[in-house]
Amino acid sequence: MAALVASDVSFTHAGNVAPTLRGISIRAEAGGVLCLLGPNGSGKTTLLRCLVGLQGGGAGIEIDGRPLSSFSEGERARRIAYVPQHGAAVFPYTLADIAVLGRTPHLGSFTVPSPDDWRIALDSLGRLGIGHLANHPFNLSSGGERQLALIARAIAQDAATIVLDEPTASLDFANQTRILDIIAGLATQGRTLVFSTHDPDHALAAATQAVLLKHGLVLAQGDVAHVVNDLTLSALYDVPVRLVSLGAGDDGFGPMTVCFPVRRSSRLGKSHNLREN
């Protein structure tokens, strides 16, 4: 089974004294979804960028047992798709242009995208629910529309390993569930999926494995059902967190588990009552 593995990965950003990542060892399996959770600044983006070779030169990273550093640039682009948190467009690309960029690793030198490449790109936009925006300029699109276009680009790339940095961050409820369904669906095709989020509910909903990252160290990792719980999340975020199991509803949905942080003011005896104010 293909897997994306990091072994004892450490990384210090240029100009920093303290390392951002310290001895990280994780494993994302093919056919699985690994979710990275952690507070702001804990090193999630840095780790994801190391996993795909954008930082750290691929040191300590293996795909299918082969060092990432041994992959040519083209091989790497065909094997790994990366969706950054924010996409900047200098040129006035349309969303279709952005999506078809995902086909670049599959084109020969000096060739332009074929009708088939454009069809794949437009299908990807359609799958993300933004087919109607194909001709819309990326730089004039909303944050959520940009995020969806970048995910469409990754899907058009058709890579076996897909790494997404906070893919649901700018999205409404409908689009969040769409992306989580797409992530889970891509994994069932045998691909390796890794994503980060600030919403542990999304780990519970779509991931098989979780890695909890704090101060550049792995606080806990393993099966989501074991690792994502009141104790670990409270320790991770330094705020009490509760998980609640919801039974199956009459509408046919559930059972499911949701989690939420407990605000100081909502603890027993300290609740704010609007009528008292």
Ligand X SMILES: Nc1ncnc2c1ncn2[C@@H]1O[C@H](COP(=O)(O)OP(=O)(O)OP(=O)(O)O)[C@@H](O)[C@H]1O
Q: Report the interface residues with ligand X, using CB under 6 A.
A: 13, 15-16, 20, 38, 40-46
Instruction: State the Cα–Cα distance between residues 65 and 56, nearest whole angstrom.
Output: 18
Cβ at position 86, least distance to ligand X in Å: 10
Which phi and psi angles does 226 have, rounded to 5°?
Answer: -90, -35
Helices 143-157 & 115-127, crossing angle to 10 degrees? 130
Cβ at position 46, least distance to ligand X in Å: 3
- Of the pair 16, 72, the CB lying nearest ligand X is at 16
Q: Please answer whether residues 163 and 48 qualify as being in contact, where contact means their C-beta atoms are separated by less than 8 angstroms.
A: yes
- Of the pair 20, 94, the CB lying nearest ligand X is at 20
CA distances (Å), 233 to each of 12, 80, 166, 240, 245, in order? 26, 30, 18, 8, 16
Cβ at position 15, least distance to ligand X in Å: 6
| Residue 171 amino acid letter | L
- Of the pair 130, 211, the CB lying nearest ligand X is at 211
- For the record, the structure tokens of 213 come out as 């990252």
Cβ at position 110, least distance to ligand X in Å: 34
Cis ω for the linkage preceding 200 (within 30 of 0): no
- Of the pair 106, 146, the CB lying nearest ligand X is at 146
Cβ at position 67, least distance to ligand X in Å: 23
Strands 209-214 and 33-37: parallel
Count Cβ atoms below 10 Å from residue 201 Cβ, excluding itself.
Answer: 18
- Of the pair 16, 109, the CB lying nearest ligand X is at 16
